[in-house]
Structure 1
Amino acid sequence: MASLRCSSVVCVVCLEKPKYRCPACRAPYCSLACFRTHRGDSAALRSLLLNPHLRELIVNLDQGDNKAKLMRDYMQEPLFVEFADCCLKIVEPSRSDES
């Protein structure tokens, strides 16, 4: 990953210029508030990934021949939808989550 001096590196929560990195995953963040948000999101995702059924779905999707069909099918599974929502919240937080 680029150093924090690189202009393309942004906080994983608010997209501002970061000053720090997460000690666990090295993700850049700019403040204690953003770190707490990141840590909470990471904990939620980690908790979901402990579920063996979800892990099986992810492996099947990764190894499947028709990924589009599998994705449509899996999006009917509440656990997979919760996982997808958690990932999206981390990757692209909504403005209401940031305040």
Structure 2
Amino acid sequence: MSIKICCICEFENAKYKCPKCKKFYCSVACCSKHKENCTGSIESNNCDIENSDSTEKTNVPYSFPTEDTVPIEKLEQLRYSKDLKNYLKTSQVRDIITEVLKDNNPTKAIANAMTEPLFVELADACLKVVEPSEEERPC
């Protein structure tokens, strides 16, 4: 099994491949950066974008990963969601998040937060980014 390295951020488990040039990329952000320079040629080295703070690979292992653990690379994609940013502009959402963070029982706090329709919309916006359906994938 070969290692598929993202041509943008050099993440070693890239899951997506450009249909034009067949180079691998790992995320929506890397796909967008790749598309800006893709010439469609398999031979050309068209992915020479230097790493920036927003695309650097993060090697923060989870202490207790579960089957529901979302990879760090997918979580990093949240920063590019306009919908998510709009929800975070709402003081009600920020207050709910603050209460969840302060609570000694985070499971209970999240359950309470999920009774608020606006927080449910925020959670759905997050899921849309980290687990997009086939139709919603940009590349």
TM-score (norm 1): 0.65
Partner of 2:10 in structure 1? 6
Partner of 1:57 in structure 2? 96
Q: 2:134 aligns with which of 89, 95, 99?
A: 95
Match status 1:69 vs 2:120 = no
1:58 Cα deviation after fit: 0.6
* Structure 2: stretches of 5+ with no match in the other structure: 1-5, 18-23, 37-76
* Structure 1: stretches of 5+ with no match in the other structure: 33-37
SS at match of 1:76: coil
- Amino-acid identity (%): 29
SS at match of 1:81: helix
Change (3 A) 1:4 1:77: same
More helix by percentage: 1
Distance of 2:12 and 2:135 partners within structure 1: 24
Distance of 2:90 and 2:107 partners within structure 1: 23
Partner of 2:125 in structure 1? 86
Distance of 2:9 and 2:82 partners within structure 1: 28
SS at match of 1:93: coil
Where relative contact order (Cα < 8 A, 6+ residues apart) is larger, the structure is: 1
Superposed CA offset, 1:46-97 (max 9, x none): 1110000100111111121011111111111100000000001111101232
Q: How many residues align structurally?
A: 83
Taking only aligned residues, the RMSD between alpha carbons, in angstroms, comes to 3.2
Return the letter of the residue paired with 2:35: S
